[in-house]
Chain A
């Protein structure tokens, strides 16, 4: 067989392997019949969708985005506007335009609409932000997040401001979340192996050199951001319909931090890293949350103080950055081949 075809096949085996593993995990978690476990699984799969979406931009461009919680917020509220009962909206969100106030869409097109609005905002914000160089662009994404948060926390009539929007249909379970996370993984893999994705990764190592070699970095960054924002918006819709309640502050720094932590721990350089980071940290979070809630040991109720979860994850993130800056996967993809891990076709160094 041709080596080229082999490489191709191998890179397509990554999304397959990742999807199958997630499927296996879901079957296991749901099959055990434990409700809490099934919910934890669904939550993890929503995070997979989010972090894979984040990876589409960050992993390929090398530009850190602090703004993705903003796209998530946008997608979540859009889907809520489209699916809430009109009577409810008249009460809670009187400022909605008529067509939105009357809308009563099925959940799936609403999720698509959430993703599409997030993608559109991604296009607009990216058109401005991505003109800046790497670090400055990262700071601008932070400003973008603050803009979204300010708007959604104050637009009383339309978003309910800081009083939560309640009553979202809670249709998202582990299977729905699995379907979307698999879709995100497939698209992420397709994009990464497309001409645009390959060109963008060439700019990751050296912005200046790549640009002087004629790569239109701006265009590729913008394209990846739009795709990324779409799935981020969908992840927002999923989260909203998973919890049933929306609040702008749940799409702010906390979420930004967790998503970035997962990406960094798993390894920014690879799709496998994005998924692995979610799985590893989700398990860690689950354990820590249970410890924070406490457990009974004989007569004593033992619990670790609140906030330990964030502190431990933050420290783990720092330790990994120091000891293994390219994450647990070291920027490698999980592929089908004699060797289990294969370095992805990285741009050759000059």
Chain B
């Protein structure tokens, strides 16, 4: 019983991270057919925005020193701002380019960001302690769960709730959903392309920032390489969720989190280091059976 609920909490918190990241990627893909390979670096950038640039081994908090009530909105704005800036400087100029061209450009942007961080902070992972109190375990349903894990699950659900509320009940949300379905038609009805795309990037960047905060609190390190793997899983989630489908991305994110936790728990000890390889092979296998994605809507037109 204890271990089952433990597994559940692990799966839900890991899946939550994947779901948030996948949502950030799917949102942008939905409105402009861009597979944003810089998303992982948005996450990493937000982690490093917490600390003072230096190549020291230990991290000195910069933004991280601020109280949570200031820190959280500030870091969300850093993420959103970075994403909006990359759109204004780069992707706006590529709006008529093919999806392949945009994808390569985003890959290059991710690389530039990564090496900029490397130059400023050095390559060694740094210990960083943000809200250490959150890692105290609490007893719940027979499992010993770190408080943080519960908070992560709670926050993920809250963010998803807010985001879907935003999409469902605000003007911008309505325009985004319309644009995701048929951008040209939406524009012919007066929907401003720049507003929708900027909005999507802002939300996507803020989601990356949320992921960054969760990751850094959970792991206690800041590492230039930490965004990449999350982005990869999130990409895969968007593919199996049906490219551009937001509910699909979320569901697939949680599914991958669960699969990952289950593999970790049940793989023989010597095979555990290869967990991710099993996970990705499993995914490629799934896609063979359903190339359009596991959660693709039957009525959705192929966009790719």
Task: Report which A residues bind B (CB closer than 8 A).
Answer: 62, 64, 66, 125, 128-129, 131-136, 138-140, 142-144, 146-147, 150-151, 154-155, 253, 257, 260-261, 264, 305-308, 310-311, 314-315, 317-318, 321-322, 325
Question: Could you say which of A128, A139, A146, A306 contacts B276, with CB atoms under 8 Å apart?
Answer: A146
- Mostly helix, strand, loop or mixed at chain B's interface? helix
Count chain B residues whose beta carbon lies closer than 8 angstroms to a beta carbon of A.
46
Residue B115 is within 8 A (CB to CB) of chain A in the complex: yes
Q: How far is the CB of A124 from chain B (nearest CB, A)?
A: 11
Residue B269 is within 8 A (CB to CB) of chain A in the complex: no
Given contacts A317-B104, A322-B90, contact A310 B111 (CB under 8 A): yes
Stretch at the interface among B95-103, B165-173, B203-211, B245-253: B95-103
Question: Could you say which of B94, B232, B281 contacts A142, with CB atoms under 8 Å apart?
Answer: B232
Indicate if the CB atoms of B97 and A321 lie closer than 8 Å: yes
Question: Could you say which of A136, A261, A308, A315 contacts B239, with CB atoms under 8 Å apart?
Answer: A136
Indicate if the CB atoms of B115 and A314 lie closer than 8 Å: yes
Indicate if the CB atoms of A253 and B228 lie closer than 8 Å: yes
Kindly report which residue of chain B lies nearest to residue A326, judged by CB atoms.
B101
Give the interface centre of A133, A146, A151, A155 by most chain B CB atoms within 10 Å: A146
- Chain A residues whose C-beta falls within 8 Å of the C-beta of B304 in the assembled complex: 133-136
Give the CA-CA distance A55 to B210 in the complex, in Å: 38
- Chain B residues whose C-beta falls within 8 Å of the C-beta of A66 in the assembled complex: 107
Indicate if the CB atoms of A64 and B239 lie closer than 8 Å: no
Interface 1/0 per residue, B108-120 and A, CB below 8 Å:
1101101110110
Q: How far is the CB of B180 from chain A (nearest CB, A)?
A: 15
B279-302 CB contacts (< 8 Å) to partner A: 280-281, 283-285, 287-288, 291, 302
Number of A-B contacts defined by CB within 8 Å = 129
- Mostly helix, strand, loop or mixed at chain A's interface? helix
- Chain A residues whose C-beta falls within 8 Å of the C-beta of B232 in the assembled complex: 142-143, 146
Question: Could you say which of A133, A139, A147, A260 contacts B35, with CB atoms under 8 Å apart?
Answer: A139
Residue B2 is within 8 A (CB to CB) of chain A in the complex: no
Residue B277 is within 8 A (CB to CB) of chain A in the complex: yes
Q: How far is the CB of B103 from chain A (nearest CB, A)?
A: 6
Give the CA-CA distance A318 to B91 in the complex, in Å: 10
- Chain A residues whose C-beta falls within 8 Å of the C-beta of B114 in the assembled complex: 310
Kindly report which residue of chain A lies nearest to residue B100, judged by CB atoms.
A64
What are 6 A-B contacts defined by CB distance under 8 Å?
A129-B284, A132-B287, A142-B235, A146-B229, A322-B105, A325-B97
Given contacts A135-B243, A147-B280, contact A325 B101 (CB under 8 A): yes
Give the CA-CA distance A147 to B274 in the complex, in Å: 8
Question: Could you say which of B94, B103, B285 contacts A128, with CB atoms under 8 Å apart?
Answer: B285
Indicate if the CB atoms of B100 and A134 lie closer than 8 Å: yes
Given contacts A133-B302, A135-B99, contact A317 B105 (CB under 8 A): yes
Indicate if the CB atoms of A260 and B285 lie closer than 8 Å: no
Give the CA-CA distance A295 to B236 in the complex, in Å: 45
Q: How far is the CB of A328 from chain B (nearest CB, A)?
A: 15
Indicate if the CB atoms of A147 and B236 lie closer than 8 Å: no
Indicate if the CB atoms of A136 and B277 lie closer than 8 Å: no
- Chain B residues whose C-beta falls within 8 Å of the C-beta of A139 in the assembled complex: 35, 235-236, 238-239
- Chain B residues whose C-beta falls within 8 Å of the C-beta of A129 in the assembled complex: 284
Give the CA-CA distance A229 to B61 in the complex, in Å: 46
- Chain B residues whose C-beta falls within 8 Å of the C-beta of A321 in the assembled complex: 94, 97, 101, 104-105, 108
Indicate if the CB atoms of B119 and A307 lie closer than 8 Å: yes
Residue B142 is within 8 A (CB to CB) of chain A in the complex: no
Residue B73 is within 8 A (CB to CB) of chain A in the complex: no
Q: How far is the CB of A167 from chain B (nearest CB, A)?
A: 25
Indicate if the CB atoms of A136 and B287 lie closer than 8 Å: yes
Give the CA-CA distance A66 to B103 in the complex, in Å: 11
- Chain A residues whose C-beta falls within 8 Å of the C-beta of B235 in the assembled complex: 139, 142-143
Indicate if the CB atoms of A311 and B112 lie closer than 8 Å: yes
Indicate if the CB atoms of B103 and A135 lie closer than 8 Å: yes
Indicate if the CB atoms of B90 and A143 lie closer than 8 Å: no
Residue B133 is within 8 A (CB to CB) of chain A in the complex: no
- Chain B residues whose C-beta falls within 8 Å of the C-beta of A311 in the assembled complex: 112, 115-116, 119
Give the CA-CA distance A204 to B195 in the complex, in Å: 32
Given contacts A139-B236, A322-B93, contact A310 B115 (CB under 8 A): yes
Give the CA-CA distance A221 to B243 in the complex, in Å: 22
Give the CA-CA distance A142 to B229 in the complex, in Å: 11
- Chain A residues whose C-beta falls within 8 Å of the C-beta of B274 in the assembled complex: 150-151, 154-155
19 further contact pairs, Cβ within 8 A, besides A143-B280, A307-B115: A125-B284, A128-B284, A133-B304, A134-B99, A134-B304, A136-B291, A140-B284, A143-B236, A147-B280, A150-B273, A150-B274, A150-B275, A150-B277, A260-B107, A314-B108, A314-B111, A318-B108, A321-B94, A325-B97
